[in-house]
Amino acid sequence: MSNKPTIPYADLYAQYLSIKSDIDAAIEEVIKSSAFIRGPFVERFEKEFANAVGARHCVSCANGTDALYIAMTGLGLAPGDEVITSAHSWIATSETITQAGGRVIFCDTDRDTFTIDCARLESLVTPRTVGIIPVHLAGQPADMDAVMAVAAKHKLWVIEDCAQAHLAQYKGRQVGTFGVAATFSFYPGKNLGAMGDAGAIVTDDAGLARRMAIFARHGGLTKGEHEIEGINSRLDGLQAAILSVKLRHLHSWTQARRRLASEYSERLQRIDGVQVPVIAADREHVFHLYMIKHERRDDLAGHLARSGVQTSINYPVALPFLPAYRRFGHRPEEFPNAFANQSRIVSLPMFAEMTAAQVQGVVQAIASFPG
């Protein structure tokens, strides 16, 4: 490590300081009313978040992983049902398919946008396929027209994994409003992040919303009345109150991320060997991750670490190649784009409070990489 000041990958404390008095007041209000589990703060946030996404219902839960599990359970996934999802995502997207009783079918990702490769999608549909989970990875929407066309043709449901894509848009329409349901994570580092774990599902389908809420709350909405066996996956009052405060800033934070991303791209595209993020037509990317590609990624990441720049790799091993999926015996040739990308991608520091000097510092560090 050099003695240069570190440019952090994210700075959650800077975000807290920028809204400290509102956060502190919100926490105090919850403590004063002891509304720790569900209660008015959770109900208010559910309404606010449904409105922000443009969906009729929001079912909050403990995290974005449970959100996927609850959504698939609510849709009645049955043993042996096949669900197609992105080969390059966080393991939550695929592990929950198995947990809900389904079989994971991986689809390669697009080489440039890292979202599900719609040119291959339909070839994976079998008589056992019931649904598709596109992931709006890094904050860039998947090609939802193409996903929805395959889904409509084969009568499949679509759950959008929006964990990294709060407020992202496809053809002027917000992600989370295309599929029958969409799942969100409010993990602290997400574009809308709690101060602990939190998640939600949105849907326009009232029946599905009810089934999901019941399942997430021990199988019943009223204590002592359990219609089914469920799980305990609740958003707590403190997180809900914090999320309500932060939601008011989400639009301006998103704009800030987009501005920082343009500054990065304008400068980095002049540096040999760096491939800046490619934004497909009609997509509004919200840059949860600012992910570049480089042929010598590991050397570059090492150089950046020595220069005091924190980076992250999202994700270094695509899902089919993880030991967790060894049982499928997948080969690199089946997922050529995900396989090629996994060793080339690196995510640079990206957070709304990032200063111009910090962007400049990252760019200079990359420019000084002996290429």
Ligand X SMILES: Cc1ncc(COP(=O)(O)O)c(C=O)c1O
* Site residues (vs ligand X, CB under 6 A): 63-65, 89-90, 92-93, 135, 161, 163-164, 185, 187, 197, 199
- By beta-carbon proximity to ligand X, the closer residue of 97 and 268 is 97
Residue whose C-beta lies closest to ligand X: 64
Chain-centroid distance of CA 209 in Å reads 21
- By beta-carbon proximity to ligand X, the closer residue of 140 and 185 is 185
- By beta-carbon proximity to ligand X, the closer residue of 65 and 312 is 65
Q: Which residues pair with 181 in a beta bridge?
A: 159
The CA distance from 114 to 278, in Å, is: 9
Residue 7's CB is within 10 A of a number of other CB atoms, namely: 23
Residue pair 264/167 in contact (Cβ under 8 Å)? The answer is: no
- By beta-carbon proximity to ligand X, the closer residue of 89 and 254 is 89
Using a 10 angstrom Cβ sphere, with 0-12 exposed, 13-18 middle and 19 or more buried, the burial of residue 277 is buried
Which structure tokens are listed for 55?
Answer: 């969906």
Q: Minimal distance in Å, beta carbon 153 to ligand X?
A: 26
Q: Minimal distance in Å, beta carbon 21 to ligand X?
A: 27
- By beta-carbon proximity to ligand X, the closer residue of 15 and 164 is 164
Q: Minimal distance in Å, beta carbon 185 to ligand X?
A: 3
The CA distance from 363 to 265, in Å, is: 10
Q: Minimal distance in Å, beta carbon 45 to ligand X?
A: 15
DSSP state of 105: E
The CA distance from 199 to 208, in Å, is: 17
Peptide bond into 315 cis (omega under 30): yes
- By beta-carbon proximity to ligand X, the closer residue of 60 and 337 is 60
Which structure tokens are listed for 85?
Answer: 């999802």
The CA distance from 318 to 345, in Å, is: 11
Q: Minimal distance in Å, beta carbon 366 to ligand X?
A: 25
Q: Minimal distance in Å, beta carbon 199 to ligand X?
A: 5
